[in-house]
Chain A
Amino acid sequence: MKTRLTLDTVAGSVLVLTAVLVGLVILYGVMAGIRISTNLPQDGLISPLQTITLTFSEPVHFEAVASVVSMDPVVDGYLELVDERTVQFIPIKPFDLDTSYKLTISPDVLALNGHALKKAHTWEFKVRDPLIVYLSPNVKDSSIWALDLNGSPSRRLTSADIKIIAFDASPDGEFIVFTVINEQGGVDLWKVTRDGSDVSILLDCGPERCTRTAISPNGKMIAYSREAAGISPGLPFGSPRIWVLNLQNGTNSPVYEDEQIIGYGPSWSPDSNKLASFDGLADQIRVLDLKENKQYIFPSNTGGPITWSPDSTKILFTNVVQMEDGLRTQVYIADLLLNKSQTLLGENDDLDHAYYSLAWSSVEERAVLGFRISEEQPMQILWLFDPALLEGIVIANQEEYSYNSPQWDPWGNSLIFQRFKLSGAFNPEIGLWRQGLNEPVILAPGLMPHWLP
């Protein structure tokens, strides 16, 4: 006997079938428990300052998650709840090179609805080899290049068509922000990924000049100096002000509402909570604590670099003072906890050493300073010193060369710098100093070296 299908029987059957499937999927889900995914790459190679994101299939108790997450070996860092299903591990100190890490989450009741993680999850990872990025020294080809320390040839990250003025590398090594002159005469911010695969404009500044970018150590914000366009073409730009572009929510605004507060050369504290900049109008360094909404002001008239102690409580900077027998550049240390600054170096100098290049590593007792030995010789040498003891060693002082732009790696073990010969053609080179090396090694011709961890 042939049965005729009707709409009711077919539709009813489909509804029953889907209801059964819904039940089976729910049953499977309940039996399987909570599922977790991470942002750890497939090859297990991460940045030394990688934020590890754990995404749960269900909303979870943060405290319960915090109690079952462990790292072996232990790394300084903290867990943060991003939303009710996402938890991040943010390292305070970098993961070590050549160490295998294990992140484990033990089974427990984690979900707000009482669902449990049924089995332990473990991820293994190591830190990838850091790259060094720099600007091509060729005047006609102002592009960014990347170099590893394994001897492979340098690799171009940006096209020769893009004329780059300067750049900054993100502390997690995932991207680089660079500045480019636009058609209106202003300067825009651009971004390129670590492998150079994606180059895109980040901020169109129109006729205004956006320069001196500084990416926050947590990678969430970019501080930069912004100069308003002149009233008409050909007239000078306005005074620079410090702006912050938030990469998470896209907001872009000046740090200080008061338009009279100018700022240049922003510098982030290692904890990303404080932002220092130079106010050339008032001859001051302003430090704004974004978390506590507190401001610190220290006198400085050089506009030179500002460098932070690893615990984000102190800064080193330079200042020029008038002595009886002439001008002296001095190095100052400012303690934010005491809200006080004092001369660290140069108070009793009998000549002006023109202290300029300053870089404090992630190791408290390791900083580097560039200065000249004599007033007759413009060459600068690099001196590695302990800011507490003021003892140190010269690490780069080859005759006829001047050294500057020192940059520490995330561990404070290796230092890259730029050097150039004082006579002859301008041929800047990138050099590397590493603990245990008697002499620095020269890596490649280039400018403005940065680590790309």
Chain B
Amino acid sequence: MTPAGFFTWLWDRLNVFATVFLGIFVEAVPYLLLGTLASGLVEVFLDRDQMSRWISGRPIAAAVSGAFMGMIFPVCECGVVPLTRRLFHKGLPLSAGISFLLAAPVLNPIVILSTAAAFGWGQMLFWRIGLSLLIAIVTGLIFSVEKEAGNVLRPSLTLSNEHIHANPESENSFPGKIREALLITADEFFEMGRYLVFGSVLAAALQTFISQSALLTIGSGPVLSVLVMLGLAVLLSICSTVDAFVALGFVGTFSFGSVLSFLVFGPMVDIKSVLMYLQVFKRRSVFYIVAIPFMMSLLSGLVFNYLFP
């Protein structure tokens, strides 16, 4: 390649990089804002006693109720991280928090409707919800054996609450509480936003320099197709609210099981969400949060490819 040709190629790649980066970032920002807003409201309006009343301390019940909490919070994988962190701060049991973290990006109403719009009210939607719930609950249950939250969560989980208690009088009034919630939202948005930017840069760089078509080419066969779709789920880092429409494009090229594994695993783990997980959990915990859904999604995809082709 001549130097001129190299620079032309590099310029093209940089254009692609900028486009992909903006695509991922702009798509995710509103949901991060929504998640941090929910987090701010939780901090101000929910106290630890209420949390302990609502969420059972028993591991199975906590994991199941945590998974179903996603149905009432319209957050995707970006917004769910700050919200989960806040809920942990309010005393949410580990098992409930983990299952909420993994299930909420799929179980929220927007994602259910978008999946139904893309695939209809049929098998794909049913299995996406069912498997996401199963994986979230199993992972939550696994974490329930850890009695000491400090072994799972990062010590820096203590949040920057300098705005709280700044003005005890205004705090008790409703407008004052809203103001506090918004201040917390802003703080947390900028804190988690950094990792969203880093994650988006990384995902855009990988997409720019790793050919998606090359991945698709090697992705034939019942095993490789699932692995490729799991890899794409991480690489593309698409928000779960729109990933069903992207997945629809793979139908025909990839088997049902492969597309399903993409739809189940993608909302739980991608580059930007892993970077955010690292701000909340210790590395060992993040490894399990990534590895367990990965293995279970792989198993699900293979079961569908081999047993129900």
Q: State the A residues within 8 Å of B (CB).
A: 5-8, 10-11, 14-15, 18-19, 21-22, 25-26, 28-29, 32, 35, 37, 55-59, 83-86, 111-113, 115
Q: State the B residues within 8 Å of A (CB).
A: 138, 142-143, 145-146, 151-152, 220-223, 252-253, 255, 284-285, 288, 291-292, 295-296, 298-299, 302-303, 305-307, 309
Given contacts A22-B295, A25-B299, A85-B255, contact A7 B305 (CB under 8 A): no
**Docked-complex contact A6 and B306, CB < 8 angstroms:** no
Give me 7 other A-B pairs in contact (C-beta within 8 A), A32-B306, A57-B305, A84-B220 excluded: A5-B145, A6-B146, A11-B292, A14-B138, A15-B291, A57-B255, A113-B220
> Within the complex, which residue of A5, A22, A57, A85 is in contact with B298, where a contact is CB–CB below 8 Å?
A22
Chain B residues with Cβ below 8 Å from A28 are 306-307
Complex: A111 Cα to B225 Cα, angstroms? 14
Which 4 A-B pairs give the minimum distances between C-beta atoms? A57-B309, A29-B306, A18-B295, A7-B146
Complex: A11 Cα to B140 Cα, angstroms? 11
**Docked-complex contact B309 and A35, CB < 8 angstroms:** yes
Chain A residues with Cβ below 8 Å from B138 are 14
Chain A residues with Cβ below 8 Å from B284 are 7-8
**Docked-complex contact B222 and A29, CB < 8 angstroms:** yes
Chain A residues with Cβ below 8 Å from B220 are 58-59, 84, 112-113
Chain B residues with Cβ below 8 Å from A115 are 221
Chain B residues with Cβ below 8 Å from A55 are 309
Complex: A334 Cα to B151 Cα, angstroms? 86
Given contacts A29-B302, A85-B255, contact A6 B295 (CB under 8 A): no
A-B contact pairs, 13 of them (CB 8 A): A7-B145, A7-B146, A8-B284, A14-B138, A18-B295, A25-B307, A26-B302, A29-B222, A32-B306, A35-B306, A37-B309, A84-B220, A115-B221
Given contacts A19-B295, A22-B295, A85-B255, contact A7 B151 (CB under 8 A): yes
Shortest beta-carbon distance, B264 to chain A, in Å?
Answer: 14
Complex: A6 Cα to B303 Cα, angstroms? 29
Given contacts A15-B291, A83-B253, A113-B221, contact A57 B142 (CB under 8 A): no
Chain B residues with Cβ below 8 Å from A22 are 295, 298-299, 302
Given contacts A7-B145, A15-B292, A21-B299, contact A83 B306 (CB under 8 A): no
**Docked-complex contact A25 and B302, CB < 8 angstroms:** yes
How many interface contacts (CB-CB < 8 Å) are there between A and B? 79
**Docked-complex contact A57 and B146, CB < 8 angstroms:** no
Chain A residues with Cβ below 8 Å from B288 are 7, 11
Given contacts A7-B152, A11-B142, contact A18 B299 (CB under 8 A): yes
**Docked-complex contact B305 and A6, CB < 8 angstroms:** no
Chain B residues with Cβ below 8 Å from A85 are 255
Complex: A406 Cα to B292 Cα, angstroms? 66
**Docked-complex contact A25 and B145, CB < 8 angstroms:** no
Shortest beta-carbon distance, B60 to chain A, in Å?
Answer: 14
Shortest beta-carbon distance, B308 to chain A, in Å?
Answer: 9
> Within the complex, which residue of B142, B223, B253 is in contact with A7, where a contact is CB–CB below 8 Å?
B142
Chain A residues with Cβ below 8 Å from B303 are 25
Complex: A8 Cα to B288 Cα, angstroms? 9
Complex: A29 Cα to B226 Cα, angstroms? 14
Shortest beta-carbon distance, B229 to chain A, in Å?
Answer: 15
Shortest beta-carbon distance, A26 to chain B, in Å?
Answer: 6
Complex: A51 Cα to B223 Cα, angstroms? 30
Complex: A21 Cα to B221 Cα, angstroms? 18
Shortest beta-carbon distance, A29 to chain B, in Å?
Answer: 4
**Docked-complex contact B252 and A57, CB < 8 angstroms:** no
